[in-house]
Homo-oligomer: A and B are copies of this chain.
Amino acid sequence: MSQPLCIAIAGLGTVGAGTLRVLQQHGDLLAARAGRPLAVTAVSAKSRTKDRGVSIDDVAWFDDPVAMAREAEADVVIELIGGEDGPAKATCEAALAAGRHVVTANKALLAVNGAGLADAAAQAGKALNFEAAVAGGIPIVKALREGLAGNNITRVYGILNGTCNYILTEMREQRRSFEDVLDEAQRLGYAEAEPSMDVDGIDAGQKLALLSSLAFGSRINFDGVYIEGIRHISLLDIDYAEELGYRIKLLGSAQRTERGLEQRVYPRMVDQRQPIAHVEGAENAVVAIGDFVGNTMFQGAGAGAGPTASAVVADIVDIARDHRTPTLGISAGELESLPEAPIGSHRGPYYVRLMVSDRPGVIADVTAVFRDEAVSIESMIQRARSETEAVPVVLNMHECEEAAMQRALSRIATLDSVVEAPTMIRIESLA
């Protein structure tokens, strides 16, 4: 039991340095938990000399992570380079080909190339662990692969992007616009200079594709994820949501239905009585619903050096203990290719906000369109009046089919008295 597990780390950015720090700081604790010492034997990064607050003096240095994956004295290669292909992919492939286990925090890589990498891991008989790729420090991959293994998972959903949740929370609490909060988040380093991965929902979509595969035993299908981000959410919508008893959250959700596999990321109005409505700031949370266990929720930090490193190290400890679970919970060959349900087949209630010129007939025109599409209105709020400026009209729509809603909105957008593109937010029934 005292043979150390030898570890090579590719990429020493925030997460890589954090992982080194955990391994150095908790050497004894980890040896006790893993039943053997964990020893970092090699690293590879862009700069050998950069000060990262952790020492790399005693380990082998490689300029090329792929060479390291091939040649280093290592049982496990930790890929923390990032990016959906390029050196990250090459490093993982080289490690598996050389008969080494792989741990990665790279959701983009797995969302796009995970199916093939899972096959490669299965062929090599090695682990490909990725706890850190979904919801940071929250051990949700382990929960789905192992802790809830007795269940047919009927649905999985969650707040998968901390930046979006932070922006939505700040907008509501500080009464600030999307642009304002994003600007500040960028200045403080919480959001990227190019924020699209976060605010357009792509990052959440990548994580959802992984959760969905774990939950349903399906092959990863990131292309099948329907994605909308939060750029179109205004403070006005956030206020109306509160008034109507909802909170706006960017959720990713996946479920198997008769129409196919639904994998969807978009902002939703969530009932304020739901626990997930109260997950605020940069936190992440994932709800998994199983046929025996019922609803379980897992909440915690979804990003950051410490939480992400915590997940990476848990994956390493599993390998040290000789725990092997197939990458996606069942053997790669048994993963199903499930058809995707088109977004047009979605059914649910909707919130619609129109900005209209306040003149006679506008409501009649709008309601006529909805009537023509057989979409019925549950309630309407029109409070502000103005002869000069556009005023908001908010409609709560009964459950209907998305395709009909989209047709109605396209026609409404062309009405003279409707002065902005309509805002539509799906109301989520999380029952």
Interface contact B150-A139, CB-CB below 8 Å: no
CB distance from A35 to the nearest CB of B (A): 7
CB distance from A136 to the nearest CB of B (A): 8
- For residue A359, CB closer than 8 A to chain B, the reply is no
CB distance from A342 to the nearest CB of B (A): 27
- For residue A278, CB closer than 8 A to chain B, the reply is yes
Interface contact A143-B139, CB-CB below 8 Å: yes
Interface contact B300-A294, CB-CB below 8 Å: yes
B contact residues around A301 at 8 Å (CB): 293-296
B contact residues around A279 at 8 Å (CB): 275
Q: Nearest chain-B residue to A38 (Cβ)?
A: B150
Q: Nearest chain-B residue to A23 (Cβ)?
A: B150
B contact residues around A278 at 8 Å (CB): 275, 278
Which of B290, B299, B304, B314 lies in contact with A147, CB distance below 8 A?
B314
Interface contact B147-A32, CB-CB below 8 Å: no
The stretch from A162-170, A328-336, A369-377, A405-413 touching chain B is A328-336
Given A142-B142, A323-B321, the answer on whether A148 and B314 have CB atoms closer than 8 Å is yes
Given A142-B142, A275-B279, A323-B323, the answer on whether A310 and B148 have CB atoms closer than 8 Å is yes
Which of B137, B148, B291 lies in contact with A294, CB distance below 8 A?
B137
CB distance from A214 to the nearest CB of B (A): 11
Interface contact A146-B318, CB-CB below 8 Å: yes
B contact residues around A310 at 8 Å (CB): 148, 150-151, 290, 292-293
- For residue A6, CB closer than 8 A to chain B, the reply is no
B contact residues around A90 at 8 Å (CB): none
- For residue A352, CB closer than 8 A to chain B, the reply is no
Kindly name the residue among A33, A321, A324 whose own CB sees the greatest number of chain B CB atoms within 10 A.
A33
For chain A, the count of residues having a C-beta within 8 Å of the partner chain is: 60
CB distance from A29 to the nearest CB of B (A): 6
Kindly name the residue among A149, A294, A304 whose own CB sees the greatest number of chain B CB atoms within 10 A.
A149
- Interface flags, A255-292, vs B, CB<8A=1, else 0: 00000000000000000000100110000000000111
Which of B35, B131, B148 lies in contact with A139, CB distance below 8 A?
B148
- For residue A231, CB closer than 8 A to chain B, the reply is no
B contact residues around A292 at 8 Å (CB): 18, 22, 137, 306-307, 309-310, 313
Interface contact B300-A295, CB-CB below 8 Å: yes
B contact residues around A32 at 8 Å (CB): 217, 330-331, 334
CB distance from A343 to the nearest CB of B (A): 28
CB distance from A176 to the nearest CB of B (A): 20
- For residue A78, CB closer than 8 A to chain B, the reply is no
Docked pose: A279 CA to B279 CA in angstroms: 12
CB distance from A118 to the nearest CB of B (A): 14
Docked pose: A312 CA to B314 CA in angstroms: 22
CB distance from A329 to the nearest CB of B (A): 6
- For residue A34, CB closer than 8 A to chain B, the reply is yes
- For residue A60, CB closer than 8 A to chain B, the reply is no
Docked pose: A298 CA to B34 CA in angstroms: 23
CB distance from A27 to the nearest CB of B (A): 12
Docked pose: A37 CA to B113 CA in angstroms: 30
- For residue A317, CB closer than 8 A to chain B, the reply is yes
Docked pose: A279 CA to B34 CA in angstroms: 33
Please provide the chain A residues from 392 to 421 with a CB less than 8 Å away from any CB of chain B in the complex: none
- For residue A175, CB closer than 8 A to chain B, the reply is no
Which of B34, B150, B306 lies in contact with A317, CB distance below 8 A?
B150
Q: Nearest chain-B residue to A145 (Cβ)?
A: B33
B contact residues around A149 at 8 Å (CB): 30, 33-34, 313-314, 317
Apart from A148-B314, A290-B310, A294-B307: 9 A-B pairs, beta carbons within 8 A: A26-B151, A33-B329, A138-B296, A146-B323, A150-B311, A150-B313, A292-B313, A294-B300, A322-B324
A-B contact pairs, 16 of them (CB 8 A): A32-B330, A33-B330, A137-B294, A137-B296, A139-B147, A142-B147, A143-B143, A148-B314, A149-B314, A150-B309, A150-B313, A293-B307, A293-B310, A296-B299, A321-B323, A322-B322
